[in-house]
Amino acid sequence: MVRVSAGHYVKMVHNGIEYGLMQLIAESYDLMKRGLGLSDDELSVVYGNWNEAELNAYLMEITSHIFTQVDEQTGKRLYRCDPG
C-alpha cells in the first residue's frame, strides 16, 4: 500500500464501523420500541447503559440523549415517535 493512500483506507474502515453501528441502533430501536413497547425514557436508559459498556461510542451517546431532549420554546420533547 502506498503511504499516501493509507489515510483513505483508515477512513474507509472507520466509515464501515460507523455505518454498522448506525444499523445496529436503527434495528435495536425498532425491536425495543415496537416489539417490546419501551418508552422514550426507557430507550434513553438502555442506550445510555450500552454507551457505558462495550458499545461506548459518540453515536450511542447522542442516541441516548435525543430521547429526553426538550424544546426550550415549547417545553415539548424534540423527539416523539408513535409507531402505531
Identified catalytic residue from 18, 42, 52, 72 = 18
What CA–CA distances, in Å, run from 46 to 11, 13, 22, 43, 50? 29, 27, 16, 5, 6
Dihedral angle sign, alpha carbons of residues 57, 6, 1, 19: positive
Reported residue count of the chain is 84
Residue 61 is a catalytic residue: no
- Give Cα 71 to chain centroid, integer Å: 20
Residue 11 is a catalytic residue: yes
Enumerate the active-site residues: 11, 18
